[in-house]
């Protein structure tokens, strides 16, 4: 009887632990390019950047034009980087946002 009870307890614990492992959240982050449409020429403040799927930059070496952020949700046109977004180091591109 004790062996059967011990076996049932082991099985119950194994099932219980596997349930916790499969329930973990696996949030996927994707990189999106945002364009600076306000703020200073050297700004990396997310509030100064908007998402434009077909945006572009005209050549200019003195201004930050675009930067990339990783975030868990797809932005809509004209959205700023999301609250959970993280700046991608080395992603700044210089130029002037061409308004597309």
Show me where the domains of the chain are located: 30-97
Arithmetic mean of pLDDT, 85-97? 95
CA angle 92, 60, 37 (to 5 degrees): 60
Query: 12: part of which helix (H) or strand (E)?
Result: helix 2-22
Whole-number Å distance between alpha carbons of 61 and 65: 10
Query: pTM of this prediction?
Result: 0.72
Q: Is the pLDDT of residue 47 over 90?
A: yes
Q: Please state, rounded to an integer, the average pLDDT across all residues of the chain.
A: 85
CA 78 to chain centre: 16
Quick one: which of 92, 31, 97, 37 has its CA closest to 67? 92
Round to whole Å and give the CA distance between 99 and 36: 10
Rg of the chain's alpha carbons, rounded to an integer? 24
- Give pLDDT, residue 60: 85
pLDDT band at 24 (very low <50, low <70, confident <90, very high): low
Residue 34 · residue 51 · CB < 8 Å: yes
């Amino acid at each position: 009887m004790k062996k059967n009870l011990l076996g049932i307890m082991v099985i119950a614990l194994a099932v219980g632990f596997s349930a916790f492992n499969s329930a973990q959240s696996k949030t996927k982050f994707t990189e999106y390019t945002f364009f600076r449409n306000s703020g200073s020429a050297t700004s990396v403040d997310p509030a100064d950047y908007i998402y434009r799927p077909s945006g572009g930059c005209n050549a200019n070496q003195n201004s930050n034009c675009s930067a990339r952020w990783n975030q868990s949700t797809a932005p809509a046109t004209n959205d700023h980087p999301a609250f959970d977004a993280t700046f991608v180091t080395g992603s700044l591109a210089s130029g002037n946002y061409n308004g597309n």
